[in-house]
Structure formats: structure tokens, C-alpha cells
């Protein structure tokens, strides 16, 4: 069976599973606000929740984000099913974005907030999660797909 844009589906599924498994592990293993230094002062695992978007944006009024996650997810699935065959970078990029959008969307629909735990303290970065990482990796893949193509060189001689 030949599935159109197969890498899209594989990357979104693997991304979603990794995101949900890591969040489950954090919720089951730590209490809220608990932190475990992996590299003291540089990188910690810290269990916090976030009602907003990435890096706590819109945290005071983020209820609409669950619907945005759903719309983005449905749009990406429609693109993969109904759109053209994508190259590998596009498939991986859109797939990782879907995995991240679904991961955070599931959290928002289930509990109204997202579980965050990746805490880079060296640069005072807001705590985030694997879904956020997946979305950013997806964006990088799409940038490579867009700008990483070798320029076409016209080798005809006049």
C-alpha cells in the first residue's frame, strides 16, 4: 500500500508519541514545580503548567489556543491527504509541526493547560516541552525545503 506523504505521517506520529510519553512521565514522576538539575544552573527538568502558547504567551486568555491547535492540525492533515506530494523536508517539517500541535492540543482539550518541563536556566529561557521543540524543528525543516534548494544554473550556451 502506497501512502501519500508517508514521512509526514510517520514524523507526526513519532513526534506526538514522544511528546505525550515525556509529559506522562513528568506528571507521574514529579510534583508541580519540582525541579531536577541535570546540569546545575544550566539545564533542569522542571514540572510546570502553562495555559498560554509557547513560552507562556497569552497565558491570561489562552482558551482559544485549543481551537487554533485543532484548526492547524486539521489543515495540515488535509494538506498531506489532498495536497501535492511533498519533498522529504516538507513532509518532515509539516509532520513535526502536526505532532507538536496535536501534543499541545491534546493537553489543552484534556486539562486546559500544557505540561512544560525543559528548563534552560543558563539563558533564563521560559520552560517548554517536546511539542514546542517539534514545532521549531518543523519550521527549520520547512526553511531548508524553501531556501536549501540548489539554485538552478542555466548551462546552455548562447
- For the segment 111-124, what is each residue's pLDDT rounded down to a tens digit? 989 999 999 998 88
The residue to which cell 500500500 is assigned: 1
Question: How do residues 76-109 score in pLDDT, each as one tens digit?
Answer: 999 999 999 999 999 999 999 999 999 999 999 9
How far is it, in rounded angstroms, from Cα 123 to Cα 91? 32
Q: Is position 1 within any domain? A: no
Cite the active site residues.
116, 132
Q: Is position 55 within any domain? A: yes
Domain containing residue 121? 6-29+37-146
Q: Is position 154 within any domain? A: no
46 pairs with which residues across the strands? 35
Q: Is position 156 within any domain? A: no
Q: How many domains does the chain have?
A: 1
Any residues with CB less than 8 A from the CB of 103 and at least 6 apart, and which?
A: 15, 16, 19, 20, 23, 129, 130, 131, 134
Q: Is position 158 within any domain? A: no
Residue 54 has pLDDT above 90, yes or no: no
Q: Is position 152 within any domain? A: no
How far is it, in rounded angstroms, from Cα 49 to Cα 137? 22
Confidence of residue 63 (pLDDT cuts 50, 70, 90): low
Q: Is position 54 within any domain? A: yes
Fill in the DSSP letter of residue 124: T
Average pLDDT over residues 9-20: 98
Instruction: Dump the DSSP string for 78-97.
Output: HHHHHSPPPPHHHHHHHHHH
Predicted local distance difference test score (pLDDT) of residue 157: 47
How far is it, in rounded angstroms, from Cα 71 to Cα 73? 5
Predicted local distance difference test score (pLDDT) of residue 23: 98
- pTM, 2 dp: 0.86
Amino acid at each position: 500500500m502506497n501512502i501519500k506523504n508517508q514521512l509526514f505521517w510517520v514524523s507526526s506520529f513519532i513526534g506526538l508519541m514522544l511528546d505525550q510519553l515525556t509529559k506522562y512521565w513528568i506528571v507521574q514522576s514529579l510534583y508541580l514545580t519540582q525541579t531536577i538539575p541535570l546540569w546545575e544552573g544550566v539545564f533542569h527538568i522542571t514540572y510546570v503548567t502553562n495555559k498560554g502558547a509557547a513560552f507562556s504567551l497569552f497565558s491570561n486568555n489562552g482558551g482559544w489556543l485549543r481551537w487554533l491547535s485543532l484548526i492547524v492540525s486539521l489543515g495540515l492533515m488535509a494538506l498531506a491527504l489532498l495536497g501535492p506530494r511533498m519533498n522529504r523536508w516538507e513532509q518532515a517539517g509539516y509532520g513535526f509541526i502536526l505532532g507538536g500541535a496535536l501534543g499541545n492540543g491534546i493537553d489543552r482539550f484534556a486539562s486546559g493547560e500544557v505540561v512544560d518541563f525543559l528548563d534552560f536556566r543558563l539563558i533564563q529561557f521560559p520552560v517548554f516541552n517536546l511539542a514546542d521543540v517539534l514545532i521549531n524543528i518543523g519550521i527549520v525543516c520547512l526553511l531548508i525545503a524553501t531556501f536549501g534548494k540548489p539554485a538552478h544554473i542555466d548551462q546552455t550556451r548562447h
